């Protein structure tokens, strides 16, 4: 079977960084572009961070295309307190040599989807995907899979109801979730089962590679944030679960569901209403429910160790 052609639509983001480096070290998928969106930090920073990460991964050939600078409605609510002011834990970086593409992210996605079957891994707000759907009607049928990190069945992380990627652009998420995409959703209930602990951070440091050192450096303040917010230093690998779904098909348990996004509730704006009643068991929309963290971390460690000593 041909390797899935993949675009990662992202707002790096410390856990986005892990997801991208995991993807670029994995032979099961063919990553053909990174598209950026405003989210954890503004679009200038997420695009710069994507260029930094692609260079760090030794893939300067990869297209990095800038996307939407803010949500469809209202202003961006960044998450700098989680990911650092620069979005990657505020480390020192040299200016990356990797250029930014001339083409807009939405047009890159459209072109790649028209060329051949495409898988999209969306790990930021869904603004680019909503624009793609509006500007290229019927494009959903050209997309083999859309794996989204977003939403929550039970508790949000920005408000009691809303998860960050959906909260950052609820109108976009509502449109995408009601589109005809073959969606697999990784909500917080799933991603909170996928964590790295201090021993994993030591492992990354001990690799003696630039990738290991950079990742451990970004994950350190992220762990401190988790400690303050959740009461322990385990760092949640939200976005890497969406990539793992492609590397180890079936490893994440899913259920069929119907998902809608609340855009108008006074207390519930940005909530994903995930209806898992039995009538939806065979829905093409799947929602991740369980992941074996030991297996996930094993794959993550092995892949991240593939980067060379430089």
With binding defined as CB under 6 A, does residue 123 bind ligand BDR?
yes
Of 83, 63, 60, 49, nearest in space to 5 by CA: 63
Our CB check for ligand BDR shows the closer of 165 and 209 to be 165
Secondary element (H or E) of residue 95 = none
With binding defined as CB under 6 A, does residue 271 bind ligand BDR?
no
With binding defined as CB under 6 A, does residue 82 bind ligand BDR?
yes
Is 238 an active-site residue?
Answer: yes
Q: What is the DSSP letter of 257?
A: -
With binding defined as CB under 5 A, does residue 262 bind Ca ion?
no
- The CA distance from 169 to 155, in Å, is 18
The structure tokens listed for 109 are 């996605």
Task: State which of residues 163, 169, 245, 271 lies at the interface with ligand BDR (CB under 6 A).
Answer: 163
Q: What share of the chain is helix, strand, coil (3-state, %, to 5)?
A: 40, 20, 40
Prior bond of 13 cis (ω within 30°): yes
- The CA distance from 220 to 38, in Å, is 23
Our CB check for ligand BDR shows the closer of 110 and 177 to be 177
Footprint of Ca ion on 107-146 (CB under 5 A):
123-124
Our CB check for ligand BDR shows the closer of 110 and 195 to be 195
Is the Cβ–Cβ distance between 119 and 144 less than 8 Å?
Answer: yes
With binding defined as CB under 6 A, does residue 127 bind ligand BDR?
no
Task: State which of residues 72, 106, 107, 164 lies at the interface with ligand BDR (CB under 6 A).
Answer: 164
Interface characters, 8-27, with Ca ion (x: CB under 5 A): ---x-x--x-----------
Catalytic residue among 83, 155, 238, 258: 238
With binding defined as CB under 6 A, does residue 238 bind ligand BDR?
yes
Name residue, tokens 């200016």. 95
Q: Please give the positions annotated as active site.
A: 238
């Amino acid at each position: 079977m041909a390797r899935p052609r993949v675009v990662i639509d992202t707002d790096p983001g410390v856990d986005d960084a892990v997801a991208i480096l995991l993807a670029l070290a994995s032979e099961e998928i063919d990553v053909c572009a990174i598209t950026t969106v405003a989210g954890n930090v503004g679009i200038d920073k997420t695009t710069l961070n994507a260029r930094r990460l692609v260079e760090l991964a030794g893939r300067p050939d990869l297209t990095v295309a800038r996307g939407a600078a803010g949500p469809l409605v209202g202003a961006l609510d960044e998450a700098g307190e989680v990911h650092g002011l620069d979005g990657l834990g505020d480390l020192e970086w040299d200016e990356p040599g990797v250029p930014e593409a001339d083409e807009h992210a939405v047009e890159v996605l459209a072109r790649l989807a028209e060329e051949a079957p495409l898988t999209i891994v969306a790990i930021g707000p869904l603004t680019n995907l909503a624009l793609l759907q509006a500007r290229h009607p019927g494009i959903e049928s050209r997309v083999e899979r859309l794996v989204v990190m977003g939403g929550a069945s039970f508790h949000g992380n920005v408000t009691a109801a809303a998860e960050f990627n959906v909260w950052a652009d609820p109108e976009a998420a509502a449109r995408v979730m009601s589109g005809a995409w073959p969606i697999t959703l990784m909500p917080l209930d799933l991603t909170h089962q996928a964590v790295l602990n201090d021993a994993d951070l030591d492992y990354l440091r001990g690799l003696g590679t630039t990738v290991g050192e950079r990742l451990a450096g970004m994950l350190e303040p992220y762990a401190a944030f988790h400690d303050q917010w959740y009461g322990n230093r385990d760092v949640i690998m939200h976005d890497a679960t969406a990539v793992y779904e492609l590397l180890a098909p079936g490893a994440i348990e899913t259920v069929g569901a119907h998902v809608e996004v609340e855009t108008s509730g006074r207390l519930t704006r940005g909530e994903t209403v995930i209806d898992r009643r039995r009538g939806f068991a065979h829905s093409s929309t799947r929602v991740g429910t369980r992941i074996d963290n030991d297996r996930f971390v094993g794959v993550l460690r092995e892949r991240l160790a593939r980067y060379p000593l430089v």
